[in-house]
Amino acid sequence: MLKGESIGIRKYALLNEKGDKILTLEYEGLLSLKAHAFLEQGEQIDFEPQDFWGQEVLMIKNNQQIASSKLNWLGNISFVYGGETYSIRYKGFWRPKILVQNESKKNLAEITSRFKWGKLSYEYEFEIFEKNFENQADWCACVFYAVLYLSGFMSGAVGSSTYG
């Protein structure tokens, strides 16, 4: 199980089961959708919104696009990585979860969020059903960004839970 937590304003960390940091995700500004993931191996992934509303985001590593995501009018994110298309969507109301599914609707990951009053921020728990994804830092970084984006969008105001 992976855990995403806020480590300051505009900054998040993704940790593995042992509590070791996999990556740090940092937004450029308080209400900006532009962000950078700094992987522990020393690599960087840039998240670049493509339009005014930020509905489409390109994920770029070493000056090459590795993935893209697009928010549709239903509030779901279509995420393309490694030639595969994934769906990231909210499920539930009272105890909402975010699901990551492949094209055949198989659940690959389930993310739950909890508001931490002591920190005034959200923490995310990632239960990954396909263990080969847990070791792919690029995939995890892209999904983490999409989860933060979707969580902020679904809270009614992008920026309220995403950047703080």
For position 138, what pLDDT does the model report? Answer: 94
Full domain range(s) for residue 138? 2-154
Residue with the bigger pLDDT between 115 and 67: it is 67
Residue 163 in domain: no
* Across 40-46, average pLDDT: 94
Total domains in the chain come to 1
Q: What is the pTM of this model?
A: 0.87
Instruction: Read off the pLDDT band of 157 (50, 70, 90).
Output: very low
* Across 64-74, average pLDDT: 92
Instruction: Read off the pLDDT band of 120 (50, 70, 90).
Output: confident
- Full 3-state SS string of the chain: CEEEEECCCCEEEEECCCCCEEEEEEECCCCCCCEEEEECCCCEEEEEECCCCCCEEEEEECCEEEEEEEECCCCCEEEEECCEEEEEEEECCCCCEEEEECCCCCEEEEEEEEEECCCCEEEEEEEECCHHHHCCHHHHHHHHHHHHHHHHHHCCCCCCCCCC
Residue 132 in domain: yes
Residue 101 in domain: yes
Contact status, residue 23 vs residue 14, Cβ threshold 8 Å: yes
Return the CATH number at 99: 2.40.160.200
Torsion sign, CA atoms 151, 112, 75, 142: positive
Residue 160 in domain: no
Residue with the bigger pLDDT between 116 and 161: it is 116
Residue 162 in domain: no
Reply yes or no on whether the pLDDT at 60 is more than 90.
Answer: yes
Residue 161 in domain: no
Mean of the per-residue pLDDT values for the chain? 88
